[in-house]
Structure 1
């Protein structure tokens, strides 16, 4: 009996005792549920560090084995968090802690082996395992960053510092681009230290986009493949690279500034990535399903299409912003009315335009309304369109639910910054078109959201670029379609004539391209086509125009140059 008890208490039950012990330990682990598997492996990892065990080559083999064994259960716990957005705060906090603490401890234990001194004869074997150690460390750092993004939190500086150090170490070891499978669970899918680092950087570039938990997760999975389309460079090339990272700074990716040159900066471009995104958009528009083109089985096609359009727009802005410098800001304290969406903006801008035109007409000819007289002569009644024009105050009153009230805290020559309550403005996204006015008697001014920054749980900083201080609402018609509609209306209308229905709406604004003044329109994306010819009506003035090149595109709007062919 004494010998039996001695055997029990003297035996090392830690899986880190040997590879053989770890293999048996993992087999017995299959007898418990998925959640318990992950917790038990976490306990074993924590005990290794608490007991300050020696970081030997054999214990590293054990760690790699345990890390492989935990992946299925760990991914199940992560999926439980991602797939349940309406869980209680207590459950959310418990899962968040379980996921991030495990990732943090895995990074910490791998660090033990990165810093370990191994006997001379085993240094070569350790060097062969080091790329996988570094890549898995970067993978767990990326997981921690991702879960901070789920809560709209800023990634702690220490995570960025460590990720920069690990990637730099992979460069020094000459293994930063060595390809290999990260885990046996992932089959033949290969990665590298650079891929894991780039994936973390690119997800960081989207951290201010106010995406949902599911959207962040989808993008992160797509970045598994997209990261292979990006290469980091030590030498900057103007026009080729759009983002950079400072390996000695406690922060993630940033816009390339004049002082961002040489060591310790790394640069990368987005052109190859954008080509792949454009190809996926074409295939989804053509009827392909996300699962058939490698985008995952659980992402519905409409949601995948919407998210891809947003990414296309946002990274296009990153390319554009790489050559655009910001104006100096000054602090202000103002209140502004805000509206968003092209249709809503056109409606309010049209009221501004009509109000201005009618004021000018009244000053010139008194209170006689010739629009009403012409309607009575032509139709025998006053059309709805004319009624809307002669009562702009009432229309604005009816549309007050369309706008929000924001606090403007800074201004510059190019735009302004506002602090808003997130709970009341969950719709804000980079690339959204909006309009603002500082008083009820002021005109609406056009702008676009360029960036977001989460300040607190319920406060978001919004950076807006101003596009035009006096946009003009216009109607677009295509000649062939207009004739068909007029024929149909003549047959159906009791009066023989009526207002033309279903006209397309757009905004006209002057713009400068390469220092030259050009005419431009902002219209719905579906209405755009290269060299498409429209009849443009801006109140009494009518033009025939041809659409030109794209200046910028949003999720549901597009900004293009136009060439005037004739004026009626």
Structure 2
């Protein structure tokens, strides 16, 4: 890329660039996050200079942007892989990585827009060769990275981002640049501006599908490897096209439904992509990754299969089923203490059960026996209290038999992630606790998130378990497991779980939710529920995610 710039602008410019932006050389000595933060700060200074209409050499700045993106391309790829592959990142690290990557991409995108505004007009500024295609493509790339990182954290893209993208499309269309083959980075798939445009619009369309971060990353990689050519049309032919954008509106691609075309609409077909996705689903069903995706760095075949199935359901031309609620919800307004993490939820259920059974708790949420034992126990049994500051307060806005709708502040809450197991203790009745799974997270106005929760149980029970040794008699174990006077901390084999009974409309079998770390399938366990002992052989998990598993338990 540097050779291209040198051929266009001359070797004198390269020397000038090196002198003016020598700080770029310092990036090699920094770690990835620190380097992106430093680039963000330097780009902010440059953007401020452009906005103040100070004397800026846009040829030099163009060289800087291209050089920075070449240097940081690998960094962004590395951080993206780390971010999505690690299941339980510490909240501080998750925020640090996502904000550093997003802010850098955001500043790079703004800088591109400023430069394009000055240099893209061929009557005022002459760019030779493929440079107009390259700078437009790099701008779209920055926008797509920016949106991807927003989707990772369930956040909305910046206001007017789609209007700005459509402006870039208009420029490319006017200068007949849309279908010129382009390879933006070394070893990246050869594509075109029209394909980049459609890739971004279709990724944006998936924001309504509540993908978790691994699925967002896979969808991005599938699009960049499979959708490398696209024809964008002004003409409305409903039998041919399925998706469209309106260049005057700040929205991504929409499916044509109750649609009235106008001259600002643009259309494209996805027939070839749909065929590839169908083949991909079939291949991944066999436990294999399609050969055409081997270079896409997709690690999990199961996640690939799940993501392709979602993409196919959303984008299929036939048999499309619009997602709707299974049942109406009743509006309400109440608050609940919400917790995540299987150990924390077990403690929360134990406390709610104690309150329900009439056990008086102290102000810190402990019974008299627990406070008495705390004088001798090495570790307290429970760290969850009625007014615990470690719990998040969510507002329940609507509910039905099977689910809840809640509203939370997106900046104050780190629990709102799809497929997250949570416990909800209602403030109006601390004995009432529900176990649920987050199924949908959508950004709304005023920095709020609308969180949809599928209820697993309204009557969970705290249980204790212990794996039985082959030579151990059950009668000997029961007395130990059922002994409430003995702190659980004194036996490392004793652990807590949650019993979910059969509930009309919610579940047809009784199950246990257990810590993944403590569970061994097809093993005998002694289980104590409300003081009632039972021996059971627990089989393979029927559901598993994060730090928990769910297993059938006939009781």
Q: TM-score normalised to the size of structure 2?
A: 0.54
Partner Cα separation in structure 1 for residue 111 and residue 284 of structure 2: 43
Is the contact made by 1:208 and 1:453 (CA closer than 8 Å) also made in structure 2?
yes
- Deviation sequence 1:217-267 (CA, Å, 0-9, x none): 011011102322543221111221111111110111112245531321011
Check if 1:208 corresponds to 2:208.
yes
Check if 1:92 corresponds to 2:104.
no
Check if 1:271 corresponds to 2:262.
no
Which secondary structure state, in structure 2, belongs to the residue aligned with residue 245 of structure 1? strand
Which secondary structure state, in structure 2, belongs to the residue aligned with residue 18 of structure 1? helix
Counterpart for residue 71 of structure 2: 69
The partner residue of 1:407 within 399, 416, 428 is 399
Partner Cα separation in structure 2 for residue 232 and residue 120 of structure 1: 24
Partner Cα separation in structure 2 for residue 181 and residue 120 of structure 1: 22
Equivalent residues in 2 for 1:353-502, closer than 5 Å: 407=399, 419=405, 426=418, 453-455=442-444, 459-460=450-451
Note closer, same or farther for the CA distance 1:325–1:310 as it changes in structure 2 (3 Å cut): closer
- Deviation sequence 1:95-144 (CA, Å, 0-9, x none): 22211111111111112221116998983326742221111111111122
Note closer, same or farther for the CA distance 1:251–1:462 as it changes in structure 2 (3 Å cut): farther
The partner residue of 1:47 within 42, 45, 48 is 45
How far the C-alpha of 1:284 sits from its partner, in A, is: 3.0
Note closer, same or farther for the CA distance 1:272–1:452 as it changes in structure 2 (3 Å cut): farther
Counterpart for residue 247 of structure 1: 247
RMSD: 4.1
Counterpart for residue 180 of structure 2: 178
Partner Cα separation in structure 1 for residue 270 and residue 312 of structure 2: 10
Q: Which structure 1 segments of 5+ residues have no match?
A: 1-14, 336-404, 410-415, 429-449, 464-568
Equivalent residues in 2 for 1:140-179, closer than 5 Å: 140-179=142-181
Note closer, same or farther for the CA distance 1:461–1:118 as it changes in structure 2 (3 Å cut): closer
Partner Cα separation in structure 1 for residue 43 and residue 329 of structure 2: 53
Partner Cα separation in structure 2 for residue 128 and residue 235 of structure 1: 28
Is the contact made by 1:157 and 1:251 (CA closer than 8 Å) also made in structure 2?
no
Partner Cα separation in structure 2 for residue 287 and residue 118 of structure 1: 47
Partner Cα separation in structure 2 for residue 454 and residue 49 of structure 1: 28
- Deviation sequence 1:58-82 (CA, Å, 0-9, x none): 3312321222122222333333433
The partner residue of 1:34 within 32, 35, 48 is 32
Counterpart for residue 367 of structure 1: none
Partner Cα separation in structure 2 for residue 193 and residue 76 of structure 1: 25
- Deviation sequence 1:10-48 (CA, Å, 0-9, x none): xxxxx9972444797655543443344334433432332
- Deviation sequence 1:183-228 (CA, Å, 0-9, x none): 23xx262232222221111111211222211111011011102322
Larger radius of gyration: 1
Counterpart for residue 314 of structure 2: 314
Count of residues in Structure 1 that have an aligned counterpart in Structure 2: 347
How far the C-alpha of 1:302 sits from its partner, in A, is: 2.6
Partner Cα separation in structure 1 for residue 284 and residue 137 of structure 2: 32
Counterpart for residue 137 of structure 2: 135
Partner Cα separation in structure 1 for residue 28 and residue 416 of structure 2: 47
Is the contact made by 1:164 and 1:247 (CA closer than 8 Å) also made in structure 2?
yes
Partner Cα separation in structure 1 for residue 440 and residue 229 of structure 2: 25
Partner Cα separation in structure 2 for residue 21 and residue 424 of structure 1: 47
Is the contact made by 2:208 and 2:442 (CA closer than 8 Å) also made in structure 1?
yes
Which secondary structure state, in structure 2, belongs to the residue aligned with residue 248 of structure 1? coil
Mean alpha-carbon deviation: is it higher for 65-74 or for 419-428? 419-428
How far the C-alpha of 1:310 sits from its partner, in A, is: 2.8
Where is the helix percentage greater, Structure 1 or Structure 2?
1
Partner Cα separation in structure 2 for residue 42 and residue 290 of structure 1: 37
Equivalent residues in 2 for 1:114-125, closer than 5 Å: 114-116=116-118, 123-125=125-127
Mean alpha-carbon deviation: is it higher for 39-48 or for 203-212? 39-48
Note closer, same or farther for the CA distance 1:178–1:147 as it changes in structure 2 (3 Å cut): same
Is the contact made by 1:45 and 1:105 (CA closer than 8 Å) also made in structure 2?
yes
Equivalent residues in 2 for 1:15-34, closer than 5 Å: 18-21=16-19, 26-27=24-25, 29-34=27-32
Partner Cα separation in structure 1 for residue 254 and residue 123 of structure 2: 43
Which secondary structure state, in structure 2, belongs to the residue aligned with residue 207 of structure 1? helix
Is the contact made by 1:57 and 1:122 (CA closer than 8 Å) also made in structure 2?
no
